[in-house]
A and B are shown apart, each in its own frame.
Chain A
Amino acid sequence: MTVMWNMAVSETSKFKVVASGVIPFAFVVVMMLYIFGPGADLLDLGVALPEITIEKVDFIDSEIQATVRNTGPISVQIAIADVNDRIQPAAVEPDGFLDRYETALVRIPFEWNEAEPYRIGITIDDGTRFEKEIESAAFALEFTSDLVIFFAIIGTYVGIIPVMIGLLWLPFIRRISKSKYHFFLALTVGLLLFLGIDAIEEAIEVSNENLAGSFNGILLTATVVVISFIGLYYAGQKLIDRADSSKLTKPVAIALMIAIGIGLHNFGEGLAIGAAVGLGSIAFSTFLIVGFALHNTTEGIAIAGPLSKDKTLSKKSLITKLIGFGLIAGSPAIFGAWIGGFSYSPFSSVIFLAIGAGAIFQVIVVILRLIREEGDKNLSGSSVVAGIAIGMLVMYLTSILV
């Protein structure tokens, strides 16, 4: 709109527009310079308390390694490391002086015992001690080809295979009446709604447990969810608009978007599995794997729903598309497991989980619009209401397995 308005005015008034945009900005700069320069005394209120966060603890051969980040408002110097509140000699790499948000690796030579709990403490220059508790010590995963393959197999088992199985319901969905079809679409909405809420909950949990307060975990999650949502919404709309003129049919475009959304979500699941194996909670990750696998068959149904509407596709092209979508939706679990297992970082986990949640919500909006276009304008038909409710319930019940 500004562009059109600009074109309508002359050169001089164009200058005025620029000036009127720049002048307030210049005042903002002056204001900031004042507060950091001559007005610095204004900010000199109270005592700034230092804070560090032990983001990660790795157990390797005869050594415990803690990744420490300065998450407070002022620089700190790492002075002492301890294990179970007993002071130990240690090395800090690259050095013990940490500016805001800077990290260091604290290496504590220690003959630790597998499966025992440990509390790792770091004391800084003002004598404040910060601690992180590890429930059960286990060897940090090393990057070996065996493990890479192991995670790929698990990712396939959790991501690709269940989604493919879910897609096998396509012929069934195809043969049913319109209201039953709406039911399945609504079921998908219910399933996805559950997954979206689940991802947000997980993101907030990870940030509460592992991220410092200064990262503003909940707002970080909210921001990334919204950006992910509107970004994908914009891109998805472009895809559907183009679908009319390209080879892609609208149902295929919608199915593709659902597959992408679910793929982003499964990446988060892969991270959770990788991290669980990495943190040594092997039994827990077995449950996680079985639970996710069952859970994810329902995701195949979500993709199959809109695809079943496309009667123009040849059998061969349909099968290729199903396999393609299955891979798009399922294979990110493999990448997630690699990253979660080999280089787990709570910050990136929160980001990925939030992106997944945003993607899911975007898919929900698209499916609901599809149902409305198909005829149920108010989304109040019994099949839609029942579908969403049953979708949520199914997910809740399968999630108990995780």
Chain B
Amino acid sequence: MILLLSVTIGLSVIAIFPNFSEAQSELKTFITHSGKVIRTTGDVIDPLYTVSTVEFDPMEYLREFNYGEVSKLADGTTVREYTIIAEDDKVMEVSPGVFYNVWTYNGTVPGPTIRATEGDLLKINFINNGSKEHTIHFHGIHPAGMDGVFEAVGPGGGKFVYEFEAGPVGVHPYHCHVMPLEEHIVHGLYGVFIVDPKEGREPADEMVMVLNGLDTDFDTENNFYAANTIPFYYQHHPIQINSHELIRIYVVNMVEFDPINNFHLHGNLYEYYPTGTDLVPSFYTDMITLSQTERGIMEFVYEYPGKYLFHAHKVEFSEKGWVGIFLVNDSSESDDSDVEYGS
């Protein structure tokens, strides 16, 4: 009886007072949505506001354009040569403390932003260093054999050269087109392909935003959403822009599973060029709705300095990472001579 009783008491003590791992003494603080300061002796897990970095740098990706190795044909046509290597074994920290197997073009999600001018001859040397078949399927106009659908490139160093003329003008996605397609896309095999008009566009501070999602537990629902892969990144690393300066965003929606995504800008409206194929804007709005691979070009100028949010107005997406901040600096204090357009 006594034995039974002591076993009972012992077991229940263990159950009632769980064995917390050894305590830390240092007091840390963090601030909530409503500005409340929380103190804790434990770990702070705050991907929203804590300034943290992971392997991939969305700030670098934002304004990085790959123009390729440039050469000229005898007739004066510009030839641009790119090398893209696919891999599928990389485990990347996608949000502080969360590790996910990404499939990459040139080591990043999204892959490099390929940029050319309409009419250029493009030569894309594709190497598949992954363990599965992969391809590159460009949206745009090209011969059937260059479509990256029926020409699967074998794993372990398989090669293929995509050759076609850049066009039409606009912003397009490229992605792997091997079945099961959804798997190859959601793991990260996609990127942006920009075709500039021959006459160019007005000089602007240009950036690329791929709206994407990450299904880290494979339940065909996204656990995270983001502009450029890392959730909340541009919230704790605001994008610095200048007032009275033209901002141009090439935005591409690559979210899977959810039928739509959208882009809302605070304190301003933007001229919107769907798919970027036309040089005249179709809308002047602060809200566009984007279906899968739907994309376009946004142009706007901020008059007043300060902090402005941009985010999905599908609030579920913004509260899972697709939210950022433009920090508008007063241009009278800064030099805006570095603004340029294209190559």
- Complex interface: chain A residues within 8 A of B22 (CB): 94
- Report how many A-B pairs have Cβ atoms within 8 Å: 159
- Cβ of A91 and Cβ of B38 under 8 Å apart? yes
Once bound together, how far apart are the Cα atoms of A128 and B231, in whole Å?
A: 16
- Complex interface: chain A residues within 8 A of B46 (CB): 89-90
Once bound together, how far apart are the Cα atoms of A355 and B24, in whole Å?
A: 37
- Cβ of B97 and Cβ of A67 under 8 Å apart? no
| A87-B40 contact in complex given A125-B99, A232-B4, C-beta closer than 8 Å | no
- Complex interface: chain A residues within 8 A of B48 (CB): 87-89
Stretch in contact with the other chain, from A96-104, A161-169, A172-180, A181-189? A96-104
Once bound together, how far apart are the Cα atoms of A235 and B5, in whole Å?
A: 12
Number of interface residues of B (CB under 8 A): 54
- Complex interface: chain B residues within 8 A of A85 (CB): 316, 320
- Cβ of B1 and Cβ of A231 under 8 Å apart? yes
Rounded to whole Å, the gap between the CB of A175 and the closest CB of chain B is 35
Once bound together, how far apart are the Cα atoms of A95 and B46, in whole Å?
A: 14
The listed residue (B43, B99, B217) touching A92 by CB distance below 8 A is: B43
The listed residue (A98, A107, A235) touching B21 by CB distance below 8 A is: A98
- Cβ of B1 and Cβ of A125 under 8 Å apart? no
Rounded to whole Å, the gap between the CB of A235 and the closest CB of chain B is 4
> Is A80 close to B, CB under 8 A?
yes
- Cβ of B21 and Cβ of A95 under 8 Å apart? yes
Rounded to whole Å, the gap between the CB of A361 and the closest CB of chain B is 14
- Cβ of A232 and Cβ of B217 under 8 Å apart? no
- Cβ of B49 and Cβ of A89 under 8 Å apart? yes
| A129-B223 contact in complex given A85-B316, A95-B43, C-beta closer than 8 Å | yes
| A103-B98 contact in complex given A89-B46, A351-B12, C-beta closer than 8 Å | no
- Complex interface: chain A residues within 8 A of B23 (CB): 93-94
- Cβ of B3 and Cβ of A231 under 8 Å apart? yes
- Cβ of A67 and Cβ of B11 under 8 Å apart? no
Once bound together, how far apart are the Cα atoms of A12 and B271, in whole Å?
A: 100
CB neighbors of A among B214-260 (8 A): 214, 216-217, 223, 231-232
Stretch in contact with the other chain, from B29-37, B180-188, B333-341? B29-37
> Is A38 close to B, CB under 8 A?
no
Once bound together, how far apart are the Cα atoms of A111 and B33, in whole Å?
A: 10
Interface residues of A (CB under 8 A from B): 55, 62, 67, 69, 77-81, 85-99, 101-105, 107, 109, 111, 123, 125-129, 227-228, 231-232, 234-235, 339, 343, 345, 347-348, 351-352, 355
Interface residues of B (CB under 8 A from A): 1, 3-4, 7-8, 11-12, 14-16, 18-24, 28, 30-34, 36, 38, 40-50, 94-100, 214, 216-217, 223, 231-232, 315-316, 319-321
- Supply 29 A–B pairs (Cβ within 8 Å), ascending by A: A69-B18, A79-B96, A85-B320, A86-B316, A87-B47, A87-B231, A89-B33, A89-B48, A91-B30, A91-B45, A92-B43, A92-B45, A93-B20, A93-B23, A94-B23, A94-B41, A95-B42, A97-B21, A104-B21, A126-B99, A129-B217, A227-B7, A345-B15, A345-B16, A348-B15, A348-B16, A351-B8, A351-B12, A352-B8
Extra pairs beyond A86-B316, A126-B98 (16, CB < 8 Å): A79-B95, A89-B49, A90-B44, A91-B43, A91-B44, A93-B20, A101-B19, A103-B20, A123-B216, A125-B99, A127-B94, A129-B217, A129-B223, A235-B4, A345-B15, A348-B15
